[in-house]
Amino acid sequence: MDKKIDQIIHKALDGGEINEGELLSLLSVQSLSEESFMIRYASRKMSEAASGGKAEVHAQVGIDNGPCPKNCGFCSFAAVNKVFPQPVIRSLEEVIASCLTLEADGANAVYLMETARYPFADFIRMAREVKAALKPETTFIANTDDFDEEGARALKEAGFHGIYHVVHMGEGTTTAIEPRTRLKTIAAAQKAGLLIGTAVEPIGPEHSKEEIVEKTMLIREMGPVHAGAGGRVHIPGSVLEAHGVLTGAQTSHILAAVKLAIGYQVRGHCGGLEMGAMAGVNLTWAEVGSNPRDTETNTVRGSTVKLRQDELREAGWEVLEGPSVMFGASA
């Protein structure tokens, strides 16, 4: 066991704050080494302590797909990737029915997701209808395009408890979005009283360890309710396809190292479940409707709430019952 890596791991476990250089050292460890497995073990212990040993399954309903002008190279909605040449919008009735099903299935939070091409005012109108149909105590989260302070207040008034928002890997280079735009949105949301969920994603083989460190430190500064890390999913024919994707072993190592840097104060940690649940992941999603990581108009890529719950239990997690504690409900 490398002495330096061992010292960094124990610093994190003891509640110390990992600095940029130390996180870079953790990320530089080979993903099948003894040190990597110790990093994953430590991440799991930290996540258990942060969440009281309880994991959550959230559920997202995508309301539209089609050629999005933001052209995120990793996204199936990107106009440049030509996956969805024609827009498709699900009806209000379909969206409400999906949300109610996910709520009844035991999702700890229900998310409403739009593409950047969908009018924000229409999203707010739909959100009000969905919120009215859900139980009052159901945690309601928005996954939407960037917005200003007025938009943040509109989301809060529509009944959302928080947002999922990310400064993506390669933001401003492989996307038509400036990083500062994403950060302004997060600041506006927090000013309006919305809680933030985020992650270091989507990571591909082309991304440097230094950029992973940079994004991790941004997340630590913003104080989200959950963080995490995720690898880019293969989209056939996308502009990033030639780079390939990370293995599960590589991704689970990264997400564990990120957790050690994020610390105990952030309750949730998301990522791929296949290997991640043993390495600190205590948050995952079921998904219906449109999905930026899929090439089908109506997806169940995230599978069902029950299957996600079962996968977490197989990894030794107790699954929370009731509204999300990560997004503010009482434990």
Name the helix (H) or strand (E) containing 249. Answer: helix 248-262
Pairing assessment for the beta strands 64-65 and 268-270 based on DSSP bridges = unpaired
Q: Which residues are CB-neighbours of 131 under 8 A, at least 6 positions away?
A: 140, 158, 159, 160
Name the helix (H) or strand (E) containing 138. Answer: none
> CA distances (Å), 19 to each of 23, 25, 50, 269, in order?
6, 10, 20, 19
> CA distances (Å), 258 to each of 19, 219, 251, in order?
11, 10, 11
CB 40 within 8 A of CB 26: no
Domains of the chain: 3-319 (3.20.20.70)
**What is the DSSP code string of 263-299?**
-TT--EEE--HHHHGGGT--EEEEEEE--TT-SSSSB
Closest by alpha carbon to 329, among 135, 153, 168? 135
* pTM, 2 dp: 0.94
pLDDT along the chain (331 residues), means of 10: 98 99 99 98 99 98 86 72 77 98 98 94 98 99 98 99 98 94 98 99 97 98 98 86 95 99 98 94 88 49 85 98 90 55
Q: In this structure, what DSSP letter does residue 144 have?
A: -
Closest by alpha carbon to 322, among 57, 115, 141? 57
The 10s digit of each residue's pLDDT in 230-277 is 999 888 888 888 999 999 999 999 999 999 999 999 999 999 988 999
